[in-house]
Structure 1
Amino acid sequence: MFTRAVSRLSRKRPPSEINDSDSKPSGSQSNLNGTTRWATSLENLLEDPEGVNRFREFLKREFSEENVLFWIACEEFKKIQDKKQMQTKANDIYMTFLSSKASYQVNVEGQSRLDESILEIPHPLMFQKLQDQIFNLMKYDSYSRFLKSDMFLKLKQAEEQEENSPDAQNAAKRVSRMYNT
């Protein structure tokens, strides 16, 4: 799902180049249009590649893009099976987001910061507590502002106009006629 995200981090590319287009919407929410689905929960937004991209744009404007990038990196990290690869990725995540010299340092509680020694014995959930902190920060702070932002409201309006356009209505009527004939 986010394989490219973490692999790009390990090549020291800027997080702005992360592309998570492999993710897919899930469940009953997949029949809703993008902005409607995104507005139901942060989880739904994070499952949609376009939602992640739009949220990242918003966070970038707020100077907090590192939060979603860290969350993505942690999600992919949990899927790694190979111990050597896990150690490499753990180090990349630590150096990119958690160390005092990190280029995209996330804002987590001081006592929750990992000591570098934990990198010697990595495990899939080693970043979970910090990831949960960042998720909650996004959910209760940035996400609600995103839903009220001009960016989101314009996207929602554009989707609604597209759905209500004469072309969309005519296409729906044509499809309906084809199946009712």
Structure 2
Amino acid sequence: IHDSDGCSSSSHQSLKSTAKWATSLENLLEDPEGVKRFREFLKKEFSEENVLFWLACEDFKKLQDKKQMQEKAKEIYMTFLSNKASSQVNVEGQSRLNEKILEEPHPLMFQKLQDQIFNLMKYDSYSRFLKSDLFLKHKRTEEEEEDQPDAQTSAKRASRIYNT
């Protein structure tokens, strides 16, 4: 009994996840599975760097140690913002950024740029993601999983009734 109930509640959980993803980009980005699916989608659109930059900025804001902040700030700058960046994001004011800002890092130093990228994703990629095959297939899979445990539970109930 406990196994099927446990199974049932976990699939209720996952069903709620796609419903949550569909309500806001914030909810999507709070769920590791949502981030994974969104990254898959953005990779196909050649814009995965946007979510990677956003995630890197989130991690950066949590740092306390100044040395770690300097290293992470440089990493973010070199990966996403410099002219030679391997995964350059397209943000306004980028050309005015230079490496001097990396000497005195502070938790919100990338906030404006992060907000720009968030809005770009929210009003562009996110709406396409919700209509994409990738999202719709995941949602269907969850709905099918949602139906299965209930059928198993009633089958087990039936077998218990007839076997007593």
TM-score interval, normalised by the smaller of the two chains: 0.7 to 0.9
Structure 1 residue ranges (4+ consecutive) displaced by more than 4 angstroms after TM superposition: 171-175
In the alignment, the residues of structure 2 paired with residue 55 and residue 129 of structure 1 have an alpha-carbon distance, to the nearest angstrom, of 22
- Alignment of 1:101 with 2:62, yes or no, is no
| Cα displacement string for residues 129-179 of structure 1 (whole angstroms, at most 9, x for unaligned residues) | 0000000000010000000001111111111111123xx11355579xxxx
- The offset of 1:75, in angstroms, is 0.2
CA distance in structure 1 between the partners assigned to 2:126 and 2:104 by the alignment: 34
After TM superposition, list the pairs within 5 Å mapping 1:27-42 onto structure 2. Answer: 33-42=16-25
Deviations 1:36-69 (A, max 9, x none): 1110111111111110000000000000000000
* Corresponding residue number in structure 1 for 2:29: 46
Unaligned runs of 5+ in 2: 1-12, 158-164
Q: Which has the higher helix share?
A: 2
- 2:119 maps to 1:124: no
Structure 1 gaps of 5+ residues are: 1-29, 176-181
CA RMSD, 1 decimal: 1.9
Q: Which has the higher contact order (CA 8 A, sep 6+)?
A: 2
Q: Which has the larger radius of gyration?
A: 2
Residues matched between the structures, number:
144
Give yes or no for the alignment of 1:137 onto 2:113: no
Contact 2:70 2:102 in 1 (8 A): yes
Distance 2:104 2:140 in 1: 49
Q: Cα offset for 1:117?
A: 1.0
Contact in 2 for aligned 1:112/1:130 (Cα 8 Å): no
- Of the three residues 40, 43, 47, the one matched with 1:60 is 43
The normalised TM-score by structure 1 is 0.74
Q: How does the TM-score come out when normalised to structure 2?
A: 0.81
Tell me the percent identity: 76
